[in-house]
Structure 1
Amino acid sequence: MAENHEVTEEGKSTELPLSIEDEKKLTSLAENVLQGWDLQAEKIEVIQGNQMALVWKIHTNSGAVCLKRIHRPEKKALFSIFAQDYLAKKGMKVPAILEAKNGNLYTKHGAFLFVVYDWIEGRPFELTVKKDLEFIMKGLAEFHTASVGYQPPNGVPVFTKLGRWPNHYIKRCKQMETWKLMAQAEKDDPFSQLYLQEIDHFIQDGKGVLDRLLQSSYVSWTEQLKHQPNLCHQDYGTGNTLLGENDQIWVIDLDTVSFDLPIRDLRKMIIPLLDTTGVWDEKTFYVMLNAYETAAPLTDEQKKVMFIDMLFPYELYDVIREKYVRKSALPREELESAFEYERVKAAALHPLI
């Protein structure tokens, strides 16, 4: 499987077939870019070609490698490239980066940076299987702990979200207020009718989460981590992890990494997964948390900060954003389910806080 081949939670590719002409263009692009590396390509496969982040599998006489065009601003791309190199050299299971002929970890072609990685073979994790779920959470903990000590080279900007959670909460609450105006313009739409009836309560809940966060150890923990931060993947999950031979847990696609509290990645893994069941699955919740803590234990105060963050209506926000920003024609039932999940989630988390 490709180092960056995106898959759904069912393990199926999200790619659409390319035309013969497009495939030829992308193959030609890869041939041009690969001149920057000391590689003899015997065969070039376009793995991901319908998105700006392009991926090729390059077959050489010494095995396969992965060529990728990173679809990020150059400064952000450099931060993640050097982070991946740091982790690989430290022994973390991330694809090692092959140096170009000029000794750099990348080459620039047009407006984008291109990188060549080791090709990783493995299978996606199946999160309905307890053993897989434990493996993927253990891999996240190992990623966080291994990343401590990374600092980008001079001239490469630091990307951090440390200390920015309060602003994120405020911004989202304001957006949910603003979207009421859009709902009022669609008075005959059942989704918008329900939104106007119910949303004020959840906006107030979001503001309450902010108050709780500021009264917790969030600020002191953030200040502490600024001296020796860990990376957060920001997009950790089944599409960006693989289980290799001998139960090796590989973490791939590090394009979005930044410094932040490690619990950000936990929240992004745990809360959306539990949202698929319609009820609060306490057993799965603790399987994930306990598996993570086998490699990276959290203090009671740190877990309290995580539970507070989990209270914020992120999943509800995403549904509403899909409706009013992306203009998706969502039914009323979609919003009803989102409201109910937030209620169920809050009832489960409040006793923990």
Structure 2
Amino acid sequence: EHYGVTKAALEHGKHVFSEKPLAADMKEGTELMAIAKEKNLLMGGAPDTFMGAGIQTARKVIDDGLIGDVIGATCAMIQHGPETWHPDPDFLYKRGGGPMMDMGPYYVTALVQLIGEAVGVTAVTKKSFKERLITSEPHYGEKIDVEADTYLTGNITFANGAIAQVFTTFDVYYPSQNYARFEIYGTKGTMIVPDPNTFGGPVLLMRPEDVAATHSDPGLRTGNLPAYAGYKEIPLLFDYNVNSRALGLSDMCKALRTGRDFRANCQQQYHVLEILTSFEKSSREGKFIPLTTHYTRTAPMKNNPMHGILDD
């Protein structure tokens, strides 16, 4: 519904900050971008979690060269779907829904903030189940006819040569505490990025000097090692490490007052929308999908001595 509501507001001369994603497809998104430009209105939207302490600290780790040049990334959002807890889950399986359009914005927005502009997508996607049984109230026992793909896996190629593997699904039974996976690989180390649907940490860093060299076949090892053995936790270097929804809206309001740019802007939303919608397009057409939108990273966050006051 974001397209219709946003269009009506823009046509009435209002600046708009919306929930994610910008629209359900690129045709809608392109129209909204044109209206906002024609009427000289600000348009932006969620997610704004990338503005939190976790992703901003991860960005500084990369920008300061602590993992070297970014080689690639792996992101995964793995769960069995919202029909076990959501009070009205039907729309999440219809046009504009599915795990990539619903949860993918958090991961893809964080990726472009950390790595930069993407140039193309290749993917394979599917629907594992034709219908879903609702076990939450008030629609307990009702069934949903599935329209959107619910198992999506693919690669995003970035302008700097990095490649990110992205996997989102509503089809897999998986421990809820581990549903989010996010790793960034560089020429000098690896970083574990926190759940991009949150504002906090932890941010974990591993460099070669942090791990004892091994000269044997890893398959011959015995015993269980901690999952993140060898990683060091990086202190969060920015404010907003707790749930701070509407931080992006506050930043947009500051931009309206000062004339500066804002971070969760429509250029970012539009680029992310093209990436998200290109997964199913690539799978359907069986080919690499070059992107037509362009993206420049928005400014990193700055610390202010007073909580809640954003920089000029």
When normalised by structure 2's length, the TM-score is 0.24
- Give the number of the structure whose residues are more often strand, by fraction: 2
- Give the number of the structure whose residues are more often helix, by fraction: 1
- Larger RCO, structures 1/2 (Cα 8 Å, 6+ apart): 2
